[in-house]
Each structure stands twice: as structure tokens, then as C-alpha cells.
Amino acid sequence: MNFSLTRATLIAEADLIGIAGERAVCDPRGVLYFPDLRLLAVSDLHLEKGSSFARRGALIPPYDTGATLLRLQAAIADYQPAIVISLGDSFHDGGGAERMHASFRDRLESLMAGRDWFWIAGNHDPDAPADLPGETVRELAIGSLLFRHEPSKVRVEGEISGHFHPCARIVQRGRSVRRRCFAADGGRMIMPAFGAYTGSLNVLDRAYAGLFRRETLMAYMLGAERIFAIPHAMLRPG
């Protein structure tokens, strides 16, 4: 997919999937876009994870927030959504927004300007981010969709969540490929983690037990320029 194309062309060329009757674009950068709602969802940004680790003595390069915001800025520029939902763990801890450098804060606020922005409370950041606009909620219902951080143990049709940082692994011609993915079965979805310093958990891990219908489970694996739709039968653990 050529990201220099217009938003209309991007949507026309993308593979649309259905979630509880709504059409959605799984973007290979890890964002989910609903063209009929002009809504963009992103999950598990984990902003300021580097600075959080540094406070505990683990010195890792403090570049995660800048890299994550640049990728988010590009996606928002392409789709120009009216609504943005960040599905929890937007910051790696409750003090992340306060530690954010002023230049990153300005960049984030410029992305938020002129659109409705919702922060879903996550397990890492249960409270509203300090001194940032937008509305913080536990969950948000829009049309037939329900946005929340952790997937419900009791199945909810139309649920879009994050938290698990899903990835998928396949083996073809003796070669193993493991990538982050959108995990969905037509009725609910778990989104991949977007943050630069986030890990991943295979969709076949027991943590996902009972969350999906196995017969319709698809892993939409993130490629460099496109999404690869992988059915459950082709998935491998590890």
C-alpha cells in the first residue's frame, strides 16, 4: 500500500473486513479505521515506556514516544478521522503524561485538535492523562461497536479491545514468520499494540481461550505494506 495516496484511495484499495456489521480497514501500521463512522482506533501506545524504565534504573534509549507519535501522525494524516479512540495503556504508567517532553505534548495536542478524542482507561493508565484534552472513559459504545481495553470474558458482539498485544506465527516452506496482528472472528476484535517498545503474545496462547470462535478466527498479520489474512488452521504456536 502506498501511503502517499489520498485517504479515499487508501480506503478503496484496502481490504475491508466486517465487525458486527460495520466495515473496517485493518491498516498495516496497526490502526483500525471505520470509514462509515470516520473513526480511527489505536491500542496500547505505551507512551513514555522508556522514561518509566529509566526511573527504575533500566536505561534504554528514550526514543519510543517520538517514534510512536510519528507513526500515529502519519495514519491520522492519511485517514483524517473525525473520532480517535485510544484503547487503553496509552501511557505506560500514570505519570507518563506529566513526564512527556513539551515537544511531544505539542505534537500530540496538534493531532487531537479539531476531532473527538477518547482515552479508554487501561490497566497501566486507569486515570485521565494529566493536562491533556480528550475524554477518559472506561468503555465507549458507538453504533454496534463497544470499545474497551481488556476483552470481556463473557462474549460481547461488536467488542473492540487491546491489552493482549496479539501476534500470529505461520510456517511455510520451512520458514517461520511471526508478526503482530489484528485478531478477529467477525464479531469481536483484539487489536495489536501500536507502541514502539511493546511486545506481543501469540493468538494461540491460552490467555485467549474462549475469546474467539475458532472456526471463524482470522489473524490479520501486519506486513511492511499490506495485511495478510491468515485463517486459524494455518496458525502455529510460539
User: Can you tell me which residue has the cell 485538535?
Assistant: 113
The DSSP output letter for 164 is S
pLDDT, averaged across the chain: 92
Q: Are strands 175-184 and 166-172 parallel, antiparallel or unpaired?
A: antiparallel
pLDDT of residue 5: 44
Residues written for the chain: 238
Entry pTM = 0.92
The DSSP output letter for 37 is T
What's the pLDDT band for 7 if we cut at 50, 70, 90?
A: low
Q: Are strands 83-86 and 39-42 parallel, antiparallel or unpaired?
A: parallel
Q: What is each CA distance from 142 to 138, 146, 177, in whole angstroms?
A: 14, 6, 35
pLDDT of residue 11: 53
Task: Check residues 181 and 11 and name the one with the higher pLDDT.
Answer: 181
pLDDT of residue 194: 98
Whether residue 177 is predicted with pLDDT greater than 80 in this model: the reply is yes
What's the pLDDT band for 4 if we cut at 50, 70, 90?
A: very low
pLDDT of residue 14: 54
How much is the average pLDDT of 142-152? Answer: 97
What's the pLDDT band for 117 if we cut at 50, 70, 90?
A: very high
Alpha helices in the chain (DSSP H): 7-13, 49-55, 64-79, 96-99, 102-112
pLDDT of residue 3: 36
Residue 2 placed within a domain: no
Residue 96 placed within a domain: yes
Residue 183 placed within a domain: yes
Closest residue by Cα to residue 119 from 128, 109, 111: 128
Residue 21 placed within a domain: yes
Query: What is the tally of structural domains in the chain?
Result: 1
Residue 1 placed within a domain: no
Whether residue 20 is predicted with pLDDT greater than 90 in this model: the reply is yes
Residue 55 placed within a domain: yes
Rg (CA), the chain: 17
Per DSSP, the three-state class of 157 is coil
- pLDDT per residue over 43-99, tens digit each? 999 999 978 777 777 777 778 999 999 999 999 999 999 999 999 999 998 888 999
Residue 27 placed within a domain: yes
How much is the average pLDDT of 197-217? Answer: 96
Provide the residue range defining the domain that includes 58: 7-146+156-234
Q: In Å, how far from its chain's centre is CA 182?
A: 8
Whether residue 15 is predicted with pLDDT greater than 90 in this model: the reply is no
pLDDT of residue 54: 72
Q: Quick one: cell of 75? A: 495514519
pLDDT of residue 6: 54
Nearest 10 degrees: CA dihedral of 38, 91, 206, 215?
10
Residue 39 placed within a domain: yes
d(Cα 221, Cα 12) in Å, to the nearest integer?
Answer: 20
- pLDDT per residue over 132-143, tens digit each? 999 999 999 999
Whether residue 110 is predicted with pLDDT greater than 50 in this model: the reply is yes
Q: Are 126 and 137 in contact (CB under 8 A)?
A: no
How much is the average pLDDT of 15-41? Answer: 95
From 28-32, 34-38, 56-60, 158-162, the region with the lowest mean pLDDT: 56-60
Provide DSSP, 19-35. Answer: ETTEEEEE-TTS-EEET
The CATH code of the domain that includes 180 is 3.60.21
